[in-house]
Amino acid sequence: MRALISVYDKSGVVEFAKTLAESGYELISTGGTHQTLSQDGGLEVKQVSEVTGSPEILGGRVKTLHPVIHAGLLARRDSPEHQAELAEHKITPIDLVAVNLYPFVSTISKPGVTLDEALENIDIGGPTMLRAAAKNFPSVAVVVDPADYGWVADRLKGPGLSMEERKGLAAKAFLHVSVYDAAVTGYLNSDAGPEKSPEKSPEVPPEGLPDDVALSLTKVTGLRYGENPHQQGALYVSPSLGSQGIAGAKQLHGRELSYNNLMDADAAWRTVSDFGQQTVAVVKHANACGLASHDDQVQAYERAFQGDSVSAFGGIVAYNRTVTGASAKAMGPVFYEVVVAPGYEPEALETLKKKRNLRILEVQAGEMQSPYDMRPITGGILLQTPDVIDEDPAAWKTVTEKSPSEGELNDLAFAWKAAKHIKSNAIVLVKDMALVGMGAGQPNRVVSVHLSQRTAGDKAAGSVLASDAFFPFPDNIELAADAGVTAIVQPGGSIRDDEVIEAANKAGLAMVFTGVRHFRH
């Protein structure tokens, strides 16, 4: 019996190889693995070049890509023709392969990695051997995970591997290769390589969507549970899509994250990241119940909190600037589940860490978005480009007799961006660059208008309103006017636009059309 061992991760490989040798396996290996087994482990190991009769060439790029190796892996043991050919060419079958691959993902994750460095860490021989061995799993055991060395060795010393165990190892090998290939695909499709052209920036939605998407998921960590305690939950990342944002956040403090924590933290981070000015969001159930921009961070936080101080309890707070010590102290009286920011002043961390269970997440600012927005449905996945588009409020069309003032236009621009991150049918009321009322997720828009006014109360007077989609009837406008709203931004495009505009003119409101809709289901 013969075993071929060629691993980048050498954890436990010496002990595994010793067990194989004791079980009667002849060992063959390559380069660094050969040195580890022979010199560190004191084992008798043949170089692959001895077996093939061909030297390693091209700086090690070609080692195992040889008929002697792959015929030994692929030959069917139940085929007289295959066995006759092996005998004719004096090729010995290979009965076990232990291989893991060059560290491509860790290489491309390093700051400043070059394209040449990335390409040199694309493994060719390893995946080829894994696929060959896994294809012939009834005869060839394939081990890709060092965690499997122990139990595989025990089986080989005893009754041997069952067909189901061999099949499971083969599936694991194919999965390992598919994840690896997806990481390479994602890298080459991204802007990470210096050869990529600037027009392929992920901020510019690609024209059309691909026929095929390489998607494989790697588990990062388990979660306490899913949305509810009876559901299991875990966080996975896809190398093909990158692991930026909340998935790559560093937890600085607090108890274990839950599924809902991550969902809400992602909504909060997406929201504040969309604003250039210093902005703070308070999110509950994936919707911003508080949102404000202000040059003074404490003011931004206080205004966001006052947007809906009742709903803020148990919510998630996100900042798009480093959290100051003063802001951390301002948050003190309120119970929050998570705080998310690109950084924290030492004084802020000291203050926040006094709350034992508060989860503190640090997310690298300026990370690029995933090129796709994916949503699972039964039996498939919906895929779309992100809702990212350059919008200039100066280009919006005023459709009423009254035009918005400069102050109103600033608030309308803020409200329009806020509505983009709130579940449809989204209505937001904004005053002085702060959210004062919000209605979301309702089956009809007029209910959302009612809810936004109820939340805002007296603060609705003098506010502006944003609607993520057009108003189908003038009753929404009449309600807004009764509450004291002075200006409205909406996409326009309803068959009743004329009636809606007439209602706005009758109430003395300013209204602008953007020509763009921002539904978020």
pLDDT at position 405, please? Answer: 96
Annotate 302-335 with three-state secondary structure.
Answer: HHHHHHCCCCCCCEEEEECCCECHHHHHHCCCCC
283 is a domain residue: yes
> What is the 3 state secondary structure string of 360-410?
EEECCCCCCCCCCEEEEECCEEEEECCCCCCCCHHHCEECCCECCCHHHHH
The encoded tokens of residue 298 equal: 């404490």
Q: What are the start-end ranges of the H helices in 209-345?
A: 259-273, 297-307, 325-330
How far is Cα 131 from Cα 325, in angstroms, rounded to an integer?
55
Domain shared by 401 and 338, yes or no: no
Please tell me whether residues 80 and 32 are part of one structural domain: yes
Would 271 be classed as within a structural domain? yes
Give me 164's structure tokens. Answer: 């189901």
Claim to verify: residue 146 and residue 249 sit in the same structural domain: no
pLDDT on residue 242? 55
SS (H, E, C) 407-467: HHHHHHHHHHHHHHCCCCCCEEEECCCEEEEEECCCCCHHHHHHHHHHHHHHHHCCCEEEE
Q: What is the pLDDT of residue 191?
A: 56
CATH (domain of 350): 3.40.140.20
Number of structural domains in the chain: 3
For residue 34, the SS3 value is helix
Q: How many angstroms separate the CA atoms of 346 and 319, rounded?
A: 16
Q: What pLDDT score does 100 carry?
A: 86
Q: Which two tokens stand for residue 393?
A: 């409020």
Pair 260, 179 in one domain: no
Helix axes 445-456, 475-483, angle to 10 degrees: 0
Q: Is residue 225 part of a domain?
A: no
User: Is 60 contained in some domain?
Assistant: yes
Per-residue confidence (pLDDT) for residue 201, from 0 to 100: 39
Three-class SS of 72-96: HHHCCCCCHHHHHHHHHCCCCCCCE
Task: Identify the pLDDT of residue 334.
Answer: 96
pLDDT at 343: 96
Tell me: do 337 and 452 sit in the same domain: no
- Angle, CA 341 vertex, CA 228 and CA 390 arms, to 5°: 95
Tell me: the pLDDT tens digits for 276-319? 999 999 999 999 999 999 999 999 999 999 999 999 999 999 99
224 inside domain: no
Verify that 148 and 277 share a domain, yes or no. Answer: no
The pLDDT value recorded for residue 106 is 76
**389 located within any domain:** no
The domain boundary, picked from 189, 207, 228, lies at 189
CB 339 within 8 A of CB 358: yes
Claim: this prediction has a pTM higher than 0.85: no
Give the SS3 label for residue 3: strand
Residue 349 shares a structural domain with residue 405: no
- Among the candidates 189, 219, 236, a domain finishes at 189
User: What CATH number corresponds to the domain at position 6?
Assistant: 3.40.50.1380
Residues annotated catalytic, as ranges:
135, 285
One domain for residues 69 and 174: yes
> Does 138 fall in a domain?
yes
Q: Are residues 274 and 315 in the same domain?
A: yes
Residues in contact with 162: Cβ distance below 8 Å, sequence separation at least 6, in sequence order: 155
By the 10 Å C-beta count (0-12 exposed, 13-18 middle, 19+ buried), 479 is classed as: middle
- Could you say which residues of the chain have pLDDT below 70? 190-208, 239-244, 366-369
Question: Is residue 303 located within the same domain as residue 180?
Answer: no
Give the orientation angle of helix 67-74 with respect to helix 125-135, to 10 degrees. 30
What local confidence, expressed as pLDDT, does residue 204 receive?
39
- Which of 362, 386, 409 is the C-terminal boundary of a domain? 362
Q: Domain of 76?
A: 2-189
Confirm if 446 and 479 have CB atoms less than 8 A apart.
yes
Same domain, 144 and 34: yes
Residue 349 neighbours by CB under 8 Å, 6+ apart: 252, 253, 328, 360
DSSP 117-180: HHHHT--SHHHHHHHHHHHTTTT-EEE--GGGHHHHHHHHHTT---HHHHHHHHHHHHHHHHHH
Instruction: Pick the closest to residue 8 from 143, 101, 88, 80 (CA basis).
Output: 101
What is the rounded distance in angstroms from the CA atom of residue 62 to the CA atom of residue 47?
A: 14
Task: Mark whether 326 and 436 lie in a shared domain.
Answer: no
